[in-house]
Structure 1
Amino acid sequence: MRSTITGTARLTKAHKLSAAGITVAMGAAAVAMAVTPGQAAETPSIAVKPVAWTTTDLGAHHHIGNQSDKAAQQAKTDAADAKKKADAAAKAKADKARADKQAASRSEARTPVKPAPAKPAAPAAPAAPVKKAYADNLDGWIKESLDILKSKNIPASYEGIKRNVMRESTGNPRAINDWDINAANGVPSKGLLQIIDPTFKAYHVEGTSWDPYDPVANITASCNYAADKYGSMDNVNSAY
């Protein structure tokens, strides 16, 4: 006898027990046929109870397979999410490091350069002494000569100089004596105080002209000579 079983699920324990019952029943039928020969021509009718298959039994394996697939898919999803988070964290860290480096570079570039220390100012050159102005006449010549004589510690006075100048040349700086003994000897007296060239050169006052006709040079050299010979021009009252 052949029994048709529908479905693809594996046999459960209940199925196995049903099959065992069918086997026992068939064995009993065979025994009955052997005991009653007169009934051999008749085909025994054995009722076979079909095995009952439930949706629970059929879907158990499918449900377990689905659970496994879902778990695997969830694991993949979780791994992908974790990788994305790790990648995002790494990128954020790299971006922050790059931003910090750029900020440091900009800060370093903006660091003000300290100015070089100022060089000490060169000492100012001493101011040139202001030259005193004197009138270009007898009064001015005598006053300028007195300032020079005073700086050289040579004694003289305004009155003593003027008195002798008026006697010797009447105040003419270009006066010359070409008739006395000095002139006869080739060294005529010259200038305001009528001094000869050898005496002028010997008693010349530093800082004045070497021209015996120069008024200031003539007065200072003559006063220097008078101070040496007579103590001062003030003591000279005649030819000297």
Structure 2
Amino acid sequence: MPKYTALLRGRALATSHRAGIAGVAALGAAALAISAAPSSAQSTPSHEAAASAAPVKYSTQRIEGVKVQVTDQMAGQQLKAEAIAAKKQAADDAAAKKREAAEGGGKAAHKAQEKKAATEAGKSRGGDRSASRSAHRPAAPAHKSYANNLDGWIRESLDIMDKHDIPGSYSGLHRNIMRESSGNPHAINDWDINAINGIPSKGLLQVIPPTFKTYHVPGTSWNIYDPVANITAACNYAAHRYGSMDNVDSAY
């Protein structure tokens, strides 16, 4: 039975061959293990390295103090910068106001000078005009005064008559006054026809009330016994009837 024997041998060889390979592999693994194992001298440092190489632990707690300090520092710097800027702005504003005040004072002084010059010029022109008017305008007559007597009454009456174009002279008035009343402004005739008719003659030139009222001269008194009013009214009547008191030599 040679075939079967050969076959068995072949199988036995294959088995032994696998066993050899396994042994060789086992020896190789052992050799690698021996070469990789550390020596006793290097065992301690390896543990220290392992310990030093341990993972770092990080805290998850929030750190607030550092952030607040940084924020406060930034706020302080900001406030300091703002204070510096505000101080500079205030200085600039003060300088601008000072310039405006100086300019305004200069303008005010200039305007005041112009106003003063204009006022003086106006006064000068007004003085020149006043002087010119005074030079060309006749001086107003001074108020004339009259004596409170027959002479004064006649002279005042003549001036009023002259303004109203009533003729008459001093001598003509004086003559008729002395004949009619003897120079008494309160004289009254209570016996002639006029008195009988209830309208007696009165005053220096013995004028009856209706005649006095009709020929009264404006600017004189309405009192028939007033000397000036009585003379001017009587002269006005005589001028209309006789042409002038100078033409009267008797009762009129």
TM-score with structure 1 setting the length = 0.54
Q: Which residue of 2 aligns with 1:150?
A: 162
Which residue type is aligned with residue 248 of structure 2? V
Residue number among 204, 225, 232 corresponding to 1:192 in the alignment: 204
Q: Which residue of 1 aligns with 2:171?
A: 159
Deviation string 1:38-60 (CA, Å, 9 cap, x unpaired) is xxxxxxxxxxxxxxxxxxxxxxx
Is residue 2:148 matched to residue 1:136? yes
Which residue type is aligned with residue 104 of structure 1? R
Residue number among 100, 105, 122 corresponding to 1:105 in the alignment: 100
**Root mean square deviation, CA, Å:** 3.3
Deviation string 1:137-182 (CA, Å, 9 cap, x unpaired) is 0000000000000010000000000000000000000000000000
Q: Which residue of 1 aligns with 2:250?
A: 238
Q: Which residue of 2 aligns with 1:8?
A: none
Instruction: Check 1:132–1:118 CA distance in 2 against 1; reply closer, same or farther (3 A cut).
Output: same
> Any gaps of 5 or more consecutive residues in structure 1?
1-90
Deviation string 1:34-92 (CA, Å, 9 cap, x unpaired) is xxxxxxxxxxxxxxxxxxxxxxxxxxxxxxxxxxxxxxxxxxxxxxxxxxxxxxxxx9x
State the Cα distance separating 1:132 from its structure 2 match. 1.2
Q: Distance in 2 between matches of 1:102 and 1:213?
A: 83
State the Cα distance separating 1:111 from its structure 2 match. 2.3
For this pair of structures, how many residues does the alignment match?
145
State the Cα distance separating 1:109 from its structure 2 match. 3.8
State the Cα distance separating 1:105 from its structure 2 match. 2.6
The sequence identity of aligned pairs, in percent, is 61
What SS does the corresponding residue of 2:217 show, helix, strand or coil? coil
Q: Distance in 2 between matches of 1:160 and 1:102?
A: 90
More helix by share: 2
Deviation string 1:184-210 (CA, Å, 9 cap, x unpaired) is 000000000000000000000000000
Is residue 2:222 matched to residue 1:210? yes
State the Cα distance separating 1:107 from its structure 2 match. 1.8
Instruction: Check 1:107–1:199 CA distance in 2 against 1; reply closer, same or farther (3 A cut).
Output: same
Deviation string 1:90-122 (CA, Å, 9 cap, x unpaired) is x9xx79x94863552342242242245659789
State the Cα distance separating 1:131 from its structure 2 match. 2.9
Which residue type is aligned with residue 209 of structure 2? D
Instruction: Check 1:172–1:118 CA distance in 2 against 1; reply closer, same or farther (3 A cut).
Output: same
Q: Distance in 2 between matches of 1:129 and 1:225?
A: 29
